[in-house]
């Protein structure tokens, strides 16, 4: 994913510390409606967050030296209009400092006219890769990277259901996993959408989703997936070794 202007991502420091990323929706990331797939939307947001960190010197070598990694603990998306393939978009992302082990990041997705298509509220965690534990605070300080407070947030609730239908099992295959050796957080949306009845996803594009990542799904392992109608949408849960690996709640436009 590259910047539309060919000059790479542009860092802006105006009213707040934020990072602006310009890109075009790739053809391969479009679905049967010619709209961007929900998982691709999350991947683009993840890319903007990663490039934001790199712009402040937090690249792979930095995290390796500090024996840490950023992971997503939970996130939600409110989609006003699902972008189309080949559409030019602007991602504006900003984050707060870590508080009690969680870092809030808001990413707004704008179309060419500057109108907001979607808002993603991600809660990141910093992990000690040696001891495999969550850090309440990172061991470093990066001036200008964080904002003390960000306005706005999305509900992170997952509306659970009791009577579930089994959608089978999924293997954490090579194509689903990232550099951490487990299923990438964006790919959970592929697993969730594939688990739902086809008439649900064909009925209309996704308009809201909240995801909670409970346990990693290592490459090669399997997760059993279940679903059920819940509230105004659908509940999906993936279980590994009899424990919830992830849960999500999805609402679709009707």
Residue 6 has pLDDT above 50, yes or no: no
Residue-range domains of the chain with CATH: 10-135 (3.10.129.10), 165-252 (3.10.129.10)
Q: Mean pLDDT, to the nearest integer, of 23-43?
A: 98
SS3 track for the chain? CCCCCCCCCEEEECCCEEEEEEEECCHHHECCCCEECHHHHHHHHHHHHHHHHHHCCCCHHHHHHHCEEEEEEEEEEEECCCCECCCEEEEEEEECCCECCEEEEEEEEECCCCCEEEEEEEEEEEEECCCCEEECCCCCCCCCCCCCCCCCCCCCCCCCCCCCEEEEEEECCHHHECCCCEECCCHHHHHHHHHCCHHHHHHCCEEEEEEEECCCCECCCEEEEEEEEECCEEEEEEEECCEEEEEEEEEECC
Residue 190 has pLDDT above 60, yes or no: yes
* 201 pLDDT tier (thresholds 50, 70, 90): very high
**What predicted TM-score, i.e. pTM, was given to this entire model?**
0.90
Q: Mean pLDDT, to the nearest integer, of 120-129?
A: 93
Lowest mean pLDDT among 130-139, 210-219, 225-234, 241-250: 130-139
Reported as a single tens digit per residue, the pLDDT across 107-116 is 999 999 999 9
* 2 pLDDT tier (thresholds 50, 70, 90): very low
pLDDT at 5: 40
Residue 220 has pLDDT above 70, yes or no: yes
Residue 4 has pLDDT above 80, yes or no: no
pLDDT at 137: 86
pLDDT at 14: 41
Residue 160 has pLDDT above 80, yes or no: yes
Reported as a single tens digit per residue, the pLDDT across 53-105 is 999 999 999 999 999 888 999 999 999 999 999 999 999 999 999 988 899 99
pLDDT at 56: 94
Residue 143 has pLDDT above 50, yes or no: yes
Average pLDDT, rounded, for the chain: 92
pLDDT at 10: 39
pLDDT at 180: 86
């Amino acid at each position: 994913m590259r910047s539309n202007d060919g000059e790479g991502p542009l860092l802006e420091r105006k009213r707040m510390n934020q990072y602006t990323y310009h890109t075009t929706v790739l053809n391969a990331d479009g679905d049967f409606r010619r709209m961007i797939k929900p998982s691709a939307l999350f991947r683009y947001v993840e890319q903007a967050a990663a490039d934001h960190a790199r712009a402040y010197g937090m690249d792979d070598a930095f995290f390796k030296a500090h024996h840490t990694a950023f992971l997503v603990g939970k996130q939600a998306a409110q989609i006003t209009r699902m972008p189309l393939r080949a559409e030019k978009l602007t991602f504006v992302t900003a984050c707060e400092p870590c508080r009690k082990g969680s870092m809030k990041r808001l990413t707004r997705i704008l179309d060419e006219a500057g109108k907001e298509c979607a808002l993603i509220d991600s809660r990141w965690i910093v992990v000690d890769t040696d001891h495999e534990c969550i850090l309440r605070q990172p061991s470093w300080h990066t001036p200008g990277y964080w904002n003390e407070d960000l306005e706005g947030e999305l509900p992170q609730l997952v509306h659970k259901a009791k009577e579930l239908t089994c959608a089978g099992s999924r293997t954490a295959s090579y194509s689903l996993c990232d550099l951490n050796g487990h299923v990438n957080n964006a790919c959970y949306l592929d697993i969730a959408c594939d688990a739902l009845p086809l008439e649900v996803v064909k009925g209309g594009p996704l308009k809201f989703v909240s995801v909670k990542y409970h346990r990693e799904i290592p490459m090669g392992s399997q997760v059993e997936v279940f679903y059920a109608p819940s509230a105004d949408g659908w509940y999906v849960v993936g279980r590994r070794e009899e424990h919830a690996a992830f849960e999500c709640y999805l609402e679709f436009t009707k």
